[in-house]
Amino acid sequence: MQDAITAVINFSDVQGKYLDTAALDKLKGYFQTGELRVRAATAISANAAAIVRDAVAKSLLYSDSTRPGGNMYTTRRYAACIRDLDYFLRYATYAMLAGDPSILDERVLNGLKETYNSLGVPIGNTVQAIQAMKDVTAGLVGLDAGKEMGVYFDYICSGLS
Ligand SMILES: CCC1=C(C)/C(=C/C2=NC(=C\c3[nH]c(/C=C4\NC(=O)[C@H](C)[C@H]4CC)c(C)c3CCC(=O)O)/C(CCC(=O)O)=C2C)NC1=O
């Protein structure tokens, strides 16, 4: 896993240079938004179950996934979907705190598309649910932090597509 600080330092290290202005500006931006990130993570942790529930209500509840024969039909599969959404929310929050998406590649996206395809989990519906989580989360944490979280929700969606 990488974060905004190690990313900038590794980049300079590869070139054998001190941090240049662009690198220092990136770090400054990260430090300036530190409190915002921690505050957002606190709000998300305290409301995770509600975020997932509201996102499901907005996106999947009356979709083909929940109908008989759909991929979420039966409580076991419904629960698996809710659990997946909670994984996405938790790992997007980690990535937002780190200011870097690498944890999503390593822990979430690695092999996920193949798993979903082999189990018939519909990617389109999953992306819709993640986009709904993005909206619900932004409503909770506010515009700036919501935008930052949005980067990592979108990252998961493009990794699945
Ligand atoms: C921490 C990283 C991590 C992820 C991301 C993860 C995902 C993941 N989701 C799975 C299943 C599943 N995922 C879903 C999800 C959905 N079906 C829908 O129609 C909806 C659109 C969607 C929810 C948004 C469902 C229903 C299953 C069970 C499928 C089945 O067994 O038939 C499986 C197969 C094994 C299992 O059932 O547990 C994995 C590995 N596991 C992990 O360890």
Please compute, for residue 97, the number of CA atoms within 13 A of its CA located in the half-sphere on the CB side. Answer: 16
d(CA 139, CA 6): 31
Is the shortest distance between the CB of 77 and ligand 1 below 6 Å?
A: yes
Question: What integer pLDDT is reported at residue 16 of this predicted model?
Answer: 97
pLDDT digits (tens, 9 = 90+) for 78-100: 999 999 999 999 999 999 999 99
Please provide residue 18's backbone torsions phi and psi, each rounded to the nearest 5 degrees.
-65, 165
Give the predicted TM-score (pTM) of the model: 0.97
When the pLDDT of each residue in the chain is averaged and rounded to a whole number, the result is 97
Q: Whose CA is nearest to atom 42 of ligand 1?
A: 108
Distance CA 119, CA 150 (A): 27
Selection from 114, 116, 113 nearest residue 159 by Cα:
113
* pLDDT for 88: 98
Q: Is 111 left (phi over 0), alpha (psi -120 to 50) or beta?
A: left
pLDDT value for 57: 97
Tens of pLDDT, residue by residue over 87-146, are 999 999 999 999 999 999 999 999 999 999 999 999 999 999 999 999 999 999 999 999
Q: Kindly give the distance from the C-alpha atom of residue 78 to the centroid of ligand 1, in angstroms, as a whole number.
A: 9
Q: How confident is the model at residue 49 (pLDDT cuts 50, 70, 90)?
A: very high
110: left (phi over 0), alpha (psi -120 to 50) or beta: beta
The answer to whether 92 touches 151, Cβ cutoff 8 Å, is no
pLDDT (mean) for 55-76: 96
Q: Is the CB of residue 126 below 6 angstroms from any atom belonging to ligand 1?
A: yes
Q: Is 73 within 8 Å of 121 (Cβ atoms)?
A: no
Does the Cβ of 85 fall within 6 Å of ligand 1? Answer: yes
Average pLDDT over residues 36-51: 98
The pLDDT score that the predictor gives to residue 35 is 97
CB 21 within 8 A of CB 118: no
* Closest C-alpha to ligand 1, atom 41: 84
First and final C-alpha spacing in the chain: 22
What spacing in Å lies between the alpha carbon of 147 and ligand 1's midpoint? 26
Torsion of CA 66, 71, 74, 75, to 10 degrees: -90
Atom 37 of ligand 1, residue of closest alpha carbon = 80
Q: How many residues can be counted in the chain?
A: 161
In this prediction, residue 17 has a pLDDT band, given cuts at 50, 70 and 90, of: very high
Query: What share of the chain in percent tops pLDDT 90?
Result: 100
